[in-house]
Structure formats: C-alpha cells, structure tokens
Amino acid sequence: MLAKLAVVAGLMFCFGYALVPVYRTICTALGINVLSLSELDESGTSRTLEANTQVDTSRTISVEFDANARGVWAFTPEKHSVQVHPGELTTVMYDFTNIQQRTMAAQAIPSYAPMQAMPYFKKVECFCFREYTMKPGESKRWPVVFVIDPKLPKDVKTITLSYTFFEVPGKGTPDAAAAQAPEAATKEPRS
C-alpha cells in the first residue's frame, strides 16, 4: 500500500514538473500568446506582440492614464496616454515613491471611464492585484499590461484608466510622532 502511494506521489510530482513545458508547447502550437516580463522592449517601457492576428488595425483607441495618491507619496504614470488598436497587447509603467518617514502598506484601486468600457479593458498584469509594503524613500516601477477587447463598442474612442493609491490601515509602521506619544505619556514627571 505504501509503495502504491509513493508511486502516485511520484507521478503527481512528475506531472507538476512537466506542466509548464507542456503548457508552453500547447500555447505555441495553438498560436496562443505566452506572456512574460521578458517581452518588454529594449527601453523596458512598453511591448506589443508582433504576430497577434486578433488586432483590429482599422480602429484606434486613445487610452489615458491617471494616478491619484491618497497619502504622502508620489504616484505617476510613465505616459499619460497611448494610442492602441483593439486586441493589441500594451504595457505602461507607473512610478511610485514613498516620501514618508515611515514604512507603509498600500494598494491601488482601478476605475474606468466610461464605465461601459470596463468589461472590454482586460488587464493581463497589474500592480493593483496586490498590496505593497514600502520603506521610507523607497521607489518602485510597476507595469500595467492590458488589451482592449475588439468587441469594444464602436462609439468608445477614449478610455481613461485611473488608479487611486490607498494606504492599507494597520499594515505599515507608525510614524515617529505617534510612536513617541505613548512613550512620553508613560514616563513619570521629574521632581
């Protein structure tokens, strides 16, 4: 019985190990794009796949990028707008710097205008999918990799992607003044 379980465990391990190469082979055979950060262009700012047959070159959509910071930090898109064709894979970078004197945790929440464009704006990779903890003065660059679905209504010519960066309460370290206040309150006065 133990030998059978060991064989099953071994087969499961082999299957898991072989899954990635098998997936890549299937995607390549079917012409499905396999995405990775290694596909960034030389400047590291944007990428498009050259042989994507689903790109609608008859239409051009203007995508505008906005960044709102709800706190003491710098948060900006690298580009404020790009022109894309529906179906074209595009990357835009966002820069973030924690200019506070304390460690903080934050997360970006996206919003779209017009709202009817939201189901057609497909984010393949986005920093908004997770929470980040950043030290004082730390800077990061994050990509947003997206595709506009070719089924986007023809009357939509411009889409605005707006991110608001919020601090996650209770996840960072308290600032120096707040940390010293309880300490000062517990000290006994000198006579």
The bridge status of strand 61-70 relative to strand 104-113 is: unpaired
Amino acid in position 36: S
Q: Can you give the pTM of this predicted structure?
A: 0.59
Domain boundaries, the chain: 1-32, 40-169
Q: Which CATH superfamily is domain 40-169 in?
A: Ctag/Cox11 (2.60.370.10)
Proportion of the chain in helix, strand, coil states, percent, rounded to 5: 25, 35, 40
- Which DSSP category does 18 fall into? H
Closest CA to 145 of 94, 96, 108: 94
Q: Please tell me the predicted confidence (pLDDT) of residue 78.
A: 92
In a structure prediction context, what are the per-residue pLDDT tens digits for the chain, which is 191 residues long?
889 989 998 888 777 767 767 776 776 676 555 444 344 444 444 444 444 558 888 899 999 999 887 777 888 899 999 999 999 999 999 998 988 888 888 888 888 889 888 889 988 888 886 888 889 999 999 899 999 999 999 999 999 998 888 888 776 555 543 443 344 444 444 43
- Cα distance between residue 27 and residue 25, in whole Å: 5
Closest CA to 52 of 39, 62, 38: 39
